[in-house]
Each structure stands twice: as C-alpha cells, then as structure tokens.
Amino acid sequence: MNGIVEAVSISPAHTMAKATQPGIRLLVGLGVEGDAHMGATVKHRSRVRRDPLQPNLRQVHLMHGELLDELRAAGFAVAPGKMGENITTRRVDLLGLPTGARLHIGEQAVVELTGLRNPCEQLNGIQPGLMDRVLGRDDQGNLIRKAGVMAVVIAGGEVRPGDVIRTELPPTPHRPLLPV
C-alpha cells in the first residue's frame, strides 16, 4: 500500500511551528523552497555554530501523522507543522525505513532519508511534557526517537496534500536510521 501526504508546511524563520500550505516546492540538493532550513550546507542553528560548512542532511523533515494522532489521544494540542515538519505523511512507516530509503512523492519529487530527527527541548515550549512523549524505550532499554525523519532532495517538484508516496528501499544490507 502506498502512503499519502497529509499536509505540507514551511517557515521562512527559525521557528518551531511551520505554517501549513496548499503546496511546497522541493529543490534538488537544497530542500523546501522558502523554508529557513533550505540550503546545501547545514542551517540548524546549533549545527551552524559547530561547523557551518557541513552538508545539510536535514533539508526536509517528515513526520508520520499517526504520531500526531497518538499525541492528541494523550492530550497534546498538535497539528501538522506544529512540531516543525515540512511533510506530514500517512501510511508510511518512516521510523522503520533504512538509511538511504527513497520516497517518491507526487509526480516528480524524490527525497532520500538521511536519519532520525533528534527531538529538542523546544518541543516542551509547545506543551510541557511533549518531548518526553516523542521519546520511548524498546524492550532492551534503547532510546527510540519518534519525532520523524530527515531527508535530502534527490529530485525536485511540487508536493501537495493528497499526493501519493511510494517507498524505494536501498540495496541490502540495510542500515538503520540514526540521529542526524
């Protein structure tokens, strides 16, 4: 079964929440046109301080809408874009995909997954306790990050709510997603 795009969001400023849009444009090697994180080199402020010339592996932030459902059921007031994602998906196991998986979105756009989003304390500014809810532990006690995945743009194009998402796995052996 293919996934779908639930919502798309951008923010020209470095804010946590991004405004939902009727559509966004992905630009090859740069990210989301008009978004503060667009660029070939890193734009996340703490990462810029460490090394402003490192490649931007966080051009596009994707989050599964099912997480938003889980958070709303737990009493959190969240909606697409509110936690900083550019693309909110449905029916795609984002967290279960390997590094290098490609998502073909709509007619032309393709993003390649680079890693997990490492959630930060700013989530608690949306609502106290939110950061703890996007972190979990597996049976062995290992930390699970549920706040979405990061990607780079391989093929540009328009992305709109309702667009189909097709997953393409990289060659084996698969490497799990790690925080970027």
- Here the CATH number for the domain that contains residue 148 is 2.40.33.20
Model confidence over 2-43: pLDDT tens digits?
999 999 999 999 999 999 999 999 999 999 999 999 999 999
Domain that holds residue 94: 3-168
Residue 176 lies in a domain: no
Residue 179 lies in a domain: no
Q: Which residues pair with 167 in a beta bridge?
A: 103
Q: Which residues pair with 105 in a beta bridge?
A: 109, 165
Indicate whether 1 pLDDT > 80. Answer: no
Residue 64 lies in a domain: yes
Q: What is the pLDDT of residue 99?
A: 98
Residue 173 lies in a domain: no
Residue 177 lies in a domain: no
Report how far Cα 166 is from the mean position of its chain's Cα atoms.
16
Q: What is the pLDDT of residue 52?
A: 87
84 burial class (0-12, 13-18, 19+ CB within 10 angstroms)?
Answer: buried
Residues 70-94 have a mean pLDDT of 97
Using DSSP's 3-state secondary structure scheme, residue 20 falls into strand
Q: What is the pLDDT of residue 46?
A: 81
Residue 102 lies in a domain: yes
- The span from the CA of 121 to the CA of 131, in Å, is 6
Kindly report the length of the chain: 180
Q: Which residues pair with 135 in a beta bridge?
A: 145
What is the tally of structural domains in the chain? 1
First-to-last alpha carbon distance for the chain, in angstroms, is 28
pTM across the whole model: 0.96
Q: What is the pLDDT of residue 47?
A: 82
Q: What is the pLDDT of residue 108?
A: 98
Residue 67 lies in a domain: yes
Residue 174 lies in a domain: no
Q: Which residue has the higher pLDDT, 46 or 66?
A: 66
Q: What is the pLDDT of residue 165?
A: 98
3-state percent helix, strand, coil for the chain, nearest multiple of 5: 15, 35, 50
Residues 120-135 have a mean pLDDT of 94
Query: Pairing between strand 149-155 and 164-168?
Result: unpaired
Model confidence over 134-177: pLDDT tens digits?
999 999 999 999 999 999 999 999 999 999 999 999 999 999 99
Cβ atoms 92, 78 nearer than 8 A: no
Q: What is the pLDDT of residue 148?
A: 97
Of the candidates 55, 51, 24, 45, the one whose C-alpha atom is nearest the C-alpha of residue 151 is 55
